[in-house]
Amino acid sequence: MKKSYLIGIIAFALSALASCGQRESNKEAPHVAPQDQKDEDEPDGIVMLHSELAERFGVKVDSVYATPMAGSIRCSAVIERGVGSEGVASAPVAGIIRYRVNVGQNIGSGSPVASVNASAVAGGNANLAAKAALDAAEAEVKRLKPLFEEKLVTATEYQAAVAALGQARAAYSPAAAGGTAVSPIAGTVTSLLASDGSYVEVGAPVAAIAADGRLTLRAKTSSDNYSHLRDVRDVRLQTSDGRSILLSTLGGKTGGISSEGGYATITFTFNNDGTLAPGSTVQAWLLSSGVENVISLPLTAITEQQGESFVYKEVLPEHYLKIPVTLGLSDGERIEILSGVEEGDRIVTSGVTTVRLAESSGAVPSGHNHSH
């Protein structure tokens, strides 16, 4: 909704400025030459965007130069955790849970994870009854022990009291008495499994803790790429919400390489800081060491129309020309330009949507046509 509203504002502003610019142009040059009499050197399809609008809506132009670009293989990857490296904290009693930790927090073994208030729900705390039974059993054994030693009670009576005490101790949980869920291992909290303030049953899992704080990325590609995997030095990931992450920023290290069933697989281990969830699938670009210099642009510079790719080239201040380009490989952040752009060209790299709206709204200089 916000995006549509913003686009509407941009389109309205562009149309208004275009109309204003047209009126001012007519005042200054009322006898505009017909289209067929314009300068033959002027290219068709010029789009005009006033500098104040370009600045307001984040339009940026950069000069293009050939620079080193890493080779890449695009594939899907799965985030995994090693077997036995995760622990789960459970609710000691049934009740209302209040968390004491956050995702990504490091905790020790036995550290409190959440408190569970059993008295806040109907039925009370069943552990209190177990505690009362334990107190009664301990008192009974304490009373009978001197009597048994003086042979005033039988061994059968005394042993029955001792057995009852053992059962009472088994039924009572000191941890439950405190109403505190604790971590069974030292590690990093990776997820909270209940909503804060919600009701949980006794024994319900309430938090997951990663023991070693490391995760594994397992990327699978065609077996034809097996020989290239040895050159992979880093991985760029794109998550489902559009974030771009380099594994090297999370301490990523190359693992093993294998080939089976027509697929080649490479693994990376990296720090688990809560950014990537175990079990999730992500888009991955396997990046090798730098290659020869190539002309490339940020992905944000590319616009697509009817299955073709275009960029906007600044030909004069406030004047842009849409030109078709042929795309090469991408590393997930930039993309190689095989044709259409030359070194020294000034290309719109950010705010392309605004220029495209100017094009569709008719914000073109007088004496230029509107065909594209």
Q: Looking at the predicted structure, is the pLDDT value of residue 240 above 50? A: yes
Q: Which of 126, 93, 122, 109 is nearest to 206 (CA)?
A: 93
Check: CB of residue 328 under 8 Å from CB of residue 338: yes
Check: CB of residue 263 under 8 Å from CB of residue 75: no
Q: Looking at the predicted structure, is the pLDDT value of residue 7 above 80? A: no
Output the average pLDDT for the chain: 79
Confidence (pLDDT) at 137: 77
DSSP conformation class of 198: -
Go through the domains of the chain in sequence order and give each one's CATH number.
2-66+295-360 (2.40.420.20), 72-83+214-289 (2.40.30.170), 86-210 (2.40.50.100)
Confidence (pLDDT) at 30: 35
Q: Which helix (H) or strand (E) holds 264?
A: strand 263-271
pLDDT band at 127 (very low <50, low <70, confident <90, very high): low
Q: Which two tokens stand for residue 333?
A: 């952040």
Q: Looking at the predicted structure, is the pLDDT value of residue 343 above 60? A: yes
- Summarize the confidence of residues 72-98 as an average pLDDT: 83
Q: Looking at the predicted structure, is the pLDDT value of residue 218 above 90? A: yes
Q: Is 307 exposed, middle or buried (0-12, 13-18, 19+ CB in 10 A)?
A: exposed
Q: Looking at the predicted structure, is the pLDDT value of residue 326 above 90? A: yes
Other C-beta atoms closer than 10 Å to the C-beta of 199 total: 15
Check: CB of residue 253 under 8 Å from CB of residue 270: yes
Confidence (pLDDT) at 129: 63
Q: Alpha carbon 213 to chain centroid distance? A: 18
Pick 274 or 303 by higher pLDDT: 303
* Backbone CA torsion sign across 255, 261, 264, 269: negative
Confidence (pLDDT) at 21: 45
